[in-house]
Amino acid sequence: MKPLSRKLTFQIPLPTEEDARSDRDRVLDTLRPGFGRLEMDLSVTRMLYPAIRSAGGQITVTMLWQGEAWHLTRVEAGDTTAFHYGLAADLGSTSVTMELVDLNRGTVAARASRYNLQREYGDDILTRIFYGKDDPEHLLQLQAAAAETLRLLMAELSERSGVDASQCAAMVLAGNTAMVHFLLGLDAFPLFHSPYAPVTAAPGFVPAAELGLELMGPVFLYPARANYMGGDVLSGIVATGLGRSEGIRLFFDIGTNGELVAGCRDFLVAGAGAAGPALEGGVIRGGMCAGQGAVEHVSIRDDAVELEVIGGGVVRGICGSGIVDLIAELFLEDVLDFRGRLQPEASSRVAEVEGELAYRYVDGDRTADGRPLWFYESDIRRFLETKAAAWTMVSYLMEAVGMEFSDVEGFDVAGAFGTYIRWQSAVTVGLYPDLPKERVRCVGNASLEGARCLLLERSHLEELDKLLRRMDYIQYGAIPNFVETMQAAAAIPHLDLDRYPCVRQWREERRRARAQQKTDGQNTAS
């Protein structure tokens, strides 16, 4: 473990008539043999004299490796090496999560998460982009909201841990390109329209005060490879070690956008596309974010629906993992055909509602107003289109590098969605490839993890530089046969069922089970 920051305590030589070097020179000259290029700015220079004087020359310096030089970020009197913390943050458009990391022990001392206060200016990123467009006043508001969110998290971490988070040596933050633009006070509008050139892709180390944060050290912002291949993905790649892997791995981050990176230590290709809010329950009627009252998991056997509801109690809607389960279960139960059409004759729960077929996945006795919840065919279609876009992206990328799924050693799925989704359901709907379960790994908030990894191991800075240079970014704008590929991928799990032997088998097992039950039922009845 070689953390991004180091704390060193030593006795600086006191000045004499013969050696009246400045305090600054005496500190830098002492450190230089071990550390090479060193930088110290005015705010740290101001700490020198009081610190040196108050402890008879015994001081502790905090140094941060910034890629080309060590920067002194703090000078304290006496030996304070026992206190050595950093902050890791994932700046999401919905939620922001932060960790207080003990850099001496390599452990997480506290973690906190809260909604991004920017939601006041728009639930989704696009609304916020338009809110800030060409409007310096609004850009300031967006910046302040992000900063305030981070400040509140720091305060929460301080309270929970008893460690003053503002005394941390540095913060490493990962976020998508738009979120980073907002935090920097930059107009994110160019991210929205072709050719999607950001204002800056690699802001690097930024003084905390310039972001409106009170922190002893600077904030490092994970760089982006391109507009849709933001710092959050790069952070995830660092966390999963894809760029250091011997075998080929896939990294898939499913959120508002879907980002995919495939590769190993020899090559890296990346692509991204709008996965769409369908996967997050955004545009589905009754869809909701994972929270109190959301259907998280669904099992269906013989027309009986079994629900797992977050927090138990009354059902309010269905979140992403529930949607994937529901569609997978309907398909395996033959209530849904491979084109996503509901089969009224296969279930008493299918009915025409508001002019289209829908499936009653929650009965009235479990809702607050006594009305059942329906899942509509048009919602299923929307989900499948989004899934097809993601799949097309994946398959195009694999084709571009001449890979097949069987070549893939591991498949890392990032994001909260990836954590809660059932592997079998994801394979069934064709969201995951038909790979052995053990090759699929849910890596959770890989963006946050990558931020922590960099805090704890500074060599990742160099790795990042290499990753950015090596990574080929594929634009999906001009994919040949895009429509045909999409159409095939919009089927459940795919028009070419040979790609999904597992799903075929599972469906057959279900059919046999249903037939058996029917027989048993008839036998019992007779």
Q: Strand 58-65 and strand 350-353: pairing?
A: unpaired
405 with 433: CB under 8 angstroms?
yes
Q: Looking at beta carbons only, is 31 or 186 nearer to a second copy?
A: 186
Q: Looking at beta carbons only, is 405 or 476 nearer to a second copy?
A: 476
Q: Looking at beta carbons only, is 37 or 371 nearer to a second copy?
A: 37
Q: Looking at beta carbons only, is 343 or 475 nearer to a second copy?
A: 475
Q: Strand 85-91 and strand 95-102: pairing?
A: antiparallel
Q: Looking at beta carbons only, is 227 or 424 nearer to a second copy?
A: 227
Q: Looking at beta carbons only, is 163 or 202 nearer to a second copy?
A: 202
342 with 357: CB under 8 angstroms?
yes
Q: Nearest distance from residue 17's CB to a second copy, in Å?
A: 5
- Scanning the structure block, which residue is given the tokens 């930059």? 186
Q: Nearest distance from residue 66's CB to a second copy, in Å?
A: 12
Kindly tell me the sign of the dihedral angle through the C-alpha atoms of 103, 105, 107, 112: negative
Kindly report whether the peptide bond that precedes residue 3 is cis, defined as omega within 30 degrees of 0: no
Q: Nearest distance from residue 53's CB to a second copy, in Å?
A: 8
Packing angle, helices 136-161 and 177-184, rounded to 10: 100
Between CA 403 and CA 401 the distance in angstroms is 6
DSSP 95-140: EEEEEEEETTTTEEEEEEEEE-GGGGG-SSHHHHHHHHTT-HHHHH
Q: Nearest distance from residue 211's CB to a second copy, in Å?
A: 8
Q: Nearest distance from residue 326's CB to a second copy, in Å?
A: 38
Q: Looking at beta carbons only, is 114 or 138 nearer to a second copy?
A: 138
Q: Looking at beta carbons only, is 478 or 483 nearer to a second copy?
A: 478
DSSP 346-376: G-TTEEEETTEEEEEEE-GGGBSSS--EEEE
Q: Nearest distance from residue 342's CB to a second copy, in Å?
A: 40
Tokens of 348: 């008493």
Kindly tell me the sign of the dihedral angle through the C-alpha atoms of 484, 485, 486, 487: positive
Between CA 388 and CA 228 the distance in angstroms is 18
Q: Looking at beta carbons only, is 46 or 512 nearer to a second copy?
A: 46
Would residue 120 be called left, alpha or beta, if left means φ above 0 and alpha means ψ between -120 and 50 degrees?
alpha
Which residues of the shown chain bind a second copy in the complex (CB under 8 A)? 15-17, 19-26, 41-43, 45-46, 48-50, 184-187, 189-190, 194-203, 206-207, 210, 226-227, 475, 477-478
Q: Looking at beta carbons only, is 139 or 454 nearer to a second copy?
A: 139
158 with 117: CB under 8 angstroms?
no
**Sheet containing 107-115: which strands, arranged edge to edge?**
107-115, 95-102, 85-91, 171-175, 219-221, 204-206
Between CA 263 and CA 270 the distance in angstroms is 9
Q: Nearest distance from residue 221's CB to a second copy, in Å?
A: 10
Q: Nearest distance from residue 177's CB to a second copy, in Å?
A: 9
Which residues, at least 6 apart from 275, have a Cβ–Cβ distance to it below 8 Å? Answer: 254, 255, 256, 257, 258, 386, 389, 390
- Scanning the structure block, which residue is given the tokens 């994110």? 188
Tokens of 486: 């999409």
Q: Looking at beta carbons only, is 150 or 350 nearer to a second copy?
A: 150
Kindly tell me the sign of the dihedral angle through the C-alpha atoms of 514, 515, 520, 521: positive
Q: Nearest distance from residue 25's CB to a second copy, in Å?
A: 7
Q: Looking at beta carbons only, is 26 or 499 nearer to a second copy?
A: 26
Q: Nearest distance from residue 463's CB to a second copy, in Å?
A: 20
